[in-house]
Amino acid sequence: MEGGYVNEEDSDAIMGVESPAITSYTDPKQPNALRASAIYAPTTTTTATNASGNNKSLTNPPIATFALTTTTTTASSLSSTSQPPSPSAIGSPPPSTGGPLNGFVTKLRNFKFNDTKNIRKRLHFDYISKDRFLGGQLKTKNGQKYVFNGPPSGVYVSKPCLVVTAFIMVVILIFSILITYFVTSHGLGKPEANPSYITAQAQSKEHPEGNSTSVATAQFHVPDWLKDNFHTSTSSPNRIKDEENVVVPPVVKEEEKTIVPPVGDIPVVKSEGVNDDGDDITKPTDRLLQLHEGWRPIHYSIVIEPNVETSTNNGSLVIEIERDAKITSWEPIVLDVYNVSISNVRVIRSLEGNETDEVELDFDSDYGENNDSFVVKLNPSLASETQLKIALSLDFVSQVTDTLQGVYKTSYINPDTKKTEWMISTQFSPIDARRAFPCFDRPDMKANFTISIVRNSNMSMALSNMPKYHSDTHRLGYIRDEFMTTPKMPTYLVAFIVSNMVDSQYANSDGQLFPRVEIWTRPNFVDMTNYAYKMVRKFLPYYEEYFGIKNKLPKIDLVSVPDFGFGAMENWGLITFRDSALLVPEDQELASSSEHMQYVAQIIAHELAHFWFGNCVTPKSWDDLWLKEGFACYMSYKALNQAHPEFQIMDTFTVLEFKESMQHDADNTSHAISFDVRSTSDVRRIFDPISYSKGTILLRMLNSIVGDEAFRSATQDLLKTFAYANIDRNDLWVFLTRHGHEMGTLPKELNVKNIMDSWITQPGYPVVNVERRGANLVLRQERYLLPARNPLDKQRWFIPITFETDDLHKGDNIPTHWLTKDQEELVIPDVFTKETNNNNTVLYLNLNRQGYYRVNYDSVSWLALKKNFTLLPRITRAQLLDDALHLSQAEYLPYDIPLTFLLELYTSVDDELLWSAAKPGLNYLIYNLKREPAYETFRAFMKFIVRPAFDHYGLNEPDNESHLQLKHRALVANFACKFNYDRCTQVAQMRFREWMRDAKKNPIKPNLKSVIYCTALSEGSYPEWYFAYKQYKRTTSASEKEEILTSLGCTSKPWLLSKYLNMTINSTSGILKQDGALAFRAVATNAIGYEIAFDFLQTNIKEIADYYGDGFSTLTEMIKSLTIYMNKDYHKQQLQLLAANCHKLGLKAVESAINLAMEQVNDNIYWRTHSYDKLKSFLESIVSEFQINIF
């Protein structure tokens, strides 16, 4: 499963500080940089002259002086950087310099920082006039990555449906009263014959003895269509044998046959917390996950008829169940249910050796506590039969939700008829199969599934995990589709779709290929599926080769679902996606950005990797969710790297995944990656960056520890050994250890379990402190902790060490040393000689960032790294900047060091990885400074740094640029507009106006849409906003819709922000539920918008909770995005009030989300109190020293 679209720009801010008016405009495309600088930065030119060689003011080196390199070989000028970059320039050393700013650069390089105390004494920086901020807008790509399920609202939206529902409720009530009366006055009821039920056309018979259950036993006849599967579950002609290749699906025949219609009159059990109006008053709710042992499912036969009008599923079910040989005690059979009502329960067994002769068994049955289970107790006289195998048959009615969980309905407008078309989709992961049908809803309870779907004939198609093998008329106006039996799999992978969507005809054109791959979408999107299809065909053979196991499924359907809570879901054979995760428009005007195409490719690679890791081999419990998600993420990088080496995606890994994981793993609210999942809210919580990003980082670290070959062969071995079964992490450790030892990459005295336990069972990650002691290298570790380092924290890890010095270029990722949990310090002898241990010799650790830790160097080492920065490997450069920014954030380092490394961006205009690495740390500073006086200096400093790169790249995209260059230009422009470089903001507005003049012809290039839209809306007013909203409704491109949704939150007009938020809880606004958190985040990350967002949340909390349910944690996501600006004590009080309000309303999950968010606010408050003034002084000293124009 994968989260929503998280663009690299996800937490970006475009600041809306009003820029000074400029008198003339120079096209940034023009190479005449001299002219540009004369117009835009007159003071800069002056400074360059003045600054040349002027270091006299820095005559008092402080105790911890951190001097910039004195080399002048890397100095740059605008005149050289204004040349178009060559494709090979990415990642290459920065251009040499000359020209009018040469002196400026020299001064930069020679600048020495003092400690804050001296700077304060020395400098008397005055702010230029009063605050000039008129506010700022924040631009965000996406609010949500990991989203979860919860209870349905269960009420159909239209008025007629409400009336029908009310009528049904009355009938149900009367029916219930009658049954109750009947049961209480006659003991056990004699069940009515129910000939009309969908499958089990069974004759009821009077129960032989009275009991207290509300449901009777009855003689059971297995329907003909089920018999094969029922009696010989492993020999069904349609079933995939686990180790065999599949049979080709037979031709589907339509037959005319009239069958009696099903009845929908089974009372729906009201669970606790459901009031008379049908509203679940406790949602989003939290339930304990009970693990019941004793019985295991073998096979499910399910017939289900989802009904959009009544919002119910009528169904019938036969589960073959066997006694778990490992459990000796006599346990009841416990099925998981949620808002499901059950009737006509029967239990039968086959007599030994005579499969046609069934015997009906006596039993008691009832709903369990809170109606969240259904318990069947067999007669204890059977307790001695350890091999007992039975079939449990029942009918059920479950809910079709509108909260994107379980079986749910969603709609879209048919472009031809302009009418609303409804469709049914499913999302069962992680724990919502129980909303659809009674089941053993746990990952380790694997079984085969034979599914039949009854659909109204006005729905043109039904899909499920396996190919359809038969189709006929079920009754007048209804068709029944029967699907082949699935391989053994857990319930969370079951899926089906009923709709009028169309296929893209790939299966026909590529009929000779196995498996059949088809993409389904609405008719007007069919031509947006080519890219996804191409990717599937690239990735499948790669995985088959890497894992050494052929894909077993005969078909793979990929479906874009109009409203989908997750990014995508790996249902075996039927992968569901939100539109933006699958569709890539090829039409010029709608074309997707490079970033978006990479995202689509990666998400497809992720879901396909699950077919091996997750679907075929499944973690035993949700505790080890990271195993499947980590593997799917890691494999998606490998697959993408193979398909598109030019993306250099493994380098991007070291920035993106580390950012995601380390950000969430830094303070006391983090959790161990292996998490003791006890309740439904625990299950939801683990779908977070710790499971995904930390999971993938740890697997990559393991790969580096044992080497590529051992890692791959261990994975192959594991998958073959546990095919169609479950594993826990210890199984992986065993295989990796064995193969590592065999290959000789893992020392014999080490085993993977010893190494990995420290990473898996405790939260957080370490900082390795580096000290040069004579000829030796001395390493110590401590936990990286926010808000600040805590020397008392005793958490330790088993850390793989790799390092390089000038004299030692091993270029190998396999660790040479280990810093263990018990070692106070690790001494690596004779790394230096007397001659080499100085600040001219570089030393850097954690090569290619293979280990999950940050590195803090001593001052000599930092200085050497700075002096030789441009000579370092590309990943190391990015790593140093990111580590330095975050080490300062937590008080491990003074801010002069990261600021010095930030200055490298001034000359490293082409180093896209370095620029990406700067983002997370910079965003933190932006959010914490944006509403403070120091932002003025910070903005000036950053504008100064990003200007050469923007002048170099501009907002024009030449043709035939590489993927990396396209992404990099967008990032540079994003920074330039964010820091209000007027050349960027002016051009952005101009381009947008051009579009406004002719809405049908969008002149903005796909990669630059996000920055141009947001800047234009931020700087503009309501005409821009309404224009954008109109385009949102008009466009058919899902990725374009997301771009616009994000930019709508960039406006600086409070009433528009407020209007926008209210649209997120109005189903007619066109904003889908899947996008609610994205829209909210767009407003909340806007420095002007966040208070409006908070107000909106406080005022409408109940309505939001009702509207979104807890299906994909929209409310939790909203709360997370609120806290980024909160750094004052009164913010805490505001949050506490909101938590109290949620408590009153019974919104427990939201309450706990607020408590987690509180920690983030505490971190911010600490930073504001302890680091703000120091950073401010450093910034002022730089701005003053270099005479940077404050405007």
Residues that bind Zn ion (CB under 5 A): 1-2, 629, 632
Ranked by CB distance to Zn ion, the top (closest) residue is 1
599/853 with CB nearer Zn ion = 599
Cβ-contact 411, 155 below 8 angstroms: no
1/361 with CB nearer Zn ion = 1
296/684 with CB nearer Zn ion = 684
Q: Which of 164, 116, 172, 132 is nearest to 18 (CA)?
A: 132
- The Cα–Cα gap between 781 and 788 comes to 15
Q: Which residues pair with 480 in a beta bridge?
A: 454, 472
626/1125 with CB nearer Zn ion = 626
- The Cα–Cα gap between 303 and 451 comes to 6
Q: Three-state SS for 216?
A: coil
66/572 with CB nearer Zn ion = 572
SS3 for 727-753, per residue? ECHHHHHHHHHHHHHHHCCCCCCCCHH
Residue 250, CA atoms < 13 Å, CB-side half-sphere: 14
Q: What is the largest CA-CA distance in the chain?
A: 104
CB of 876 to Zn ion, least distance (A): 31
Give the type of residue at 1115: L
Name the DSSP letter for residue 468. E
240/605 with CB nearer Zn ion = 605
CB of 578 to Zn ion, least distance (A): 14
Could you give phi then psi for residue 936, rounded to 5 degrees? -60, -45
Distance (Å) of CA 838 to CA 625, 770, 860, 869: 47, 14, 7, 16
Cβ-contact 584, 592 below 8 angstroms: yes
Rg (CA), the chain: 32
Instruction: Please state, as a whole number, how many other Cβ atoms lie within 10 Å of the Cβ of residue 219.
Output: 12
CB of 525 to Zn ion, least distance (A): 24
DSSP string over 377-391: EE-GGGTT-TT-EEE
CB of 692 to Zn ion, least distance (A): 7
- The Cα–Cα gap between 1026 and 1003 comes to 18
- The Cα–Cα gap between 1141 and 1150 comes to 10
Where in the sequence numbering do the catalytic residues fall?
607
Residue 1185, CA atoms < 13 Å, CB-side half-sphere: 28
CB of 651 to Zn ion, least distance (A): 23
654/696 with CB nearer Zn ion = 696
CB of 152 to Zn ion, least distance (A): 24
Helix or strand run (H / E) with residue 367? strand 363-367
DSSP string over 293-315: -SEEEEEEEEEEEEETTTTEEEE
Residue with tokens 């006289």: 381
CB of 609 to Zn ion, least distance (A): 8
CB of 1153 to Zn ion, least distance (A): 22
634/857 with CB nearer Zn ion = 634
375/581 with CB nearer Zn ion = 581
629/667 with CB nearer Zn ion = 629
Residue with tokens 């590592």: 740
2/657 with CB nearer Zn ion = 2
Q: Which residues pair with 938 in a beta bridge?
A: none
- The Cα–Cα gap between 1086 and 143 comes to 13
Burial class of residue 708 in the structure, from the number of CB atoms within 10 Å of its CB (0-12 exposed, 13-18 middle, 19+ buried) = middle
Cβ-contact 532, 603 below 8 angstroms: no
- The Cα–Cα gap between 443 and 435 comes to 16
- The Cα–Cα gap between 745 and 991 comes to 56
1/760 with CB nearer Zn ion = 1
- What's the full length of the chain, in residues? 1191
DSSP string over 972-1013: HHHHHHHTT-HHHHHHHHHHHHHHHHSTTS--S-GGGHHHHH
DSSP string over 814-867: S-SEEE-SS-S-EEETTS--TTTSSTTS-EEESGGG-SS-EEE--HHHHHHHHH
Q: Which of 1001, 1025, 999, 1011 is nearest to 975 (CA)?
A: 1011
CB of 581 to Zn ion, least distance (A): 12
629/804 with CB nearer Zn ion = 629
- The Cα–Cα gap between 572 and 615 comes to 7
**486: its two tokens:** 């699935």
